[in-house]
């Protein structure tokens, strides 16, 4: 099993594997169960614990925690959730606009690995109806090597034709940044495990 990355979903073997810097909210004890996925977030701890976000059934039910890597029993990546268009077509959420948008994108030849995050991804990974009529589509693009804005213009044009609003985060080895901000030119806000940074080159090592 590969090490989970930001935006991956993980499942754990036991609720006791959840650790928190603060007291976890009551709804976790009453309604969260290990059949539900946790989403890997950006943070780091010296002991190598995995930073996760816990999602409940309502928009306000969110909590941050840590998980011992030994407790992880399954990992699902954003890319794997869009890898099988037949699975999307058979999804109980196929009528929802974000899933319709994924089906459209799956039919295109895109030059980089991509996947889905956010509420649409959580619904696909858990079969729990957390999407709403106004839900945006959150996408992730893996781009480990330096790229230019010109390489994304056609992709960005395709996004404007989707049936719902789409927000795209480009992930580099250093962190993640918004595609729309990058295409406007200038510095971008790069989200990393040690916090956000304004950078000109999101592929450049921050420790160099």
Would you name the residues annotated as active-site residues? 136, 138
In this structure, the chain runs to a length of 208
CA 146, CA 136: separation in Å to the nearest integer? 27
Instruction: Evaluate whether 145 touches 138 at the Cβ level (below 8 Å).
Output: no
3-state secondary structure of 162: coil
Tokens of 120: 């649409």
CA 142, CA 127: separation in Å to the nearest integer? 25
Torsion from C-alpha of 65, 70, 71, 75, nearest 10 degrees: 90
CA 153, CA 156: separation in Å to the nearest integer? 5
Cα 184 off chain centre by = 23
Residues 6 or more apart whose CB falls under 8 angstroms from that of 22 comprise none
- CA 152 → CA 74, 112, 130, distances in Å? 32, 10, 30
């Amino acid at each position: 099993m590969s090490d989970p990355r930001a935006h991956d979903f993980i499942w754990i073997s036991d609720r006791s594997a959840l650790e928190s810097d603060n007291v976890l909210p009551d709804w976790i004890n009453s309604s969260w169960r290990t059949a539900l996925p946790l989403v890997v977030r950006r943070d780091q701890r010296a002991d190598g614990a995995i930073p996760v976000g816990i999602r409940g059934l309502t928009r306000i039910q969110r909590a941050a925690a840590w998980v011992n890597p030994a407790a992880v029993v399954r990992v699902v990546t954003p890319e794997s959730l869009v890898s099988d268009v037949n699975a999307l077509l058979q999804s109980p959420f196929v009528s929802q606009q974000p899933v319709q948008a994924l089906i459209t994108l799956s039919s295109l030849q895109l030059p980089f690995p991509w996947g889905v995050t956010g509420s649409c991804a959580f619904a696909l990974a858990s079969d729990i109806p957390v999407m709403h009529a106004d839900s945006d589509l959150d996408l992730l693009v893996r781009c480990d090597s330096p790229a230019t804005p010109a390489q994304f213009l056609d992709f960005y044009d395709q996004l404007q034709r989707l049936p719902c609003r789409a927000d795209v985060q480009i992930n580099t080895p250093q962190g993640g940044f918004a595609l729309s901000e990058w295409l406007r030119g200038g510095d971008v806000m790069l989200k990393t495990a040690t916090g956000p940074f304004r950078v000109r080159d999101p592929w450049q090592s921050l420790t160099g």
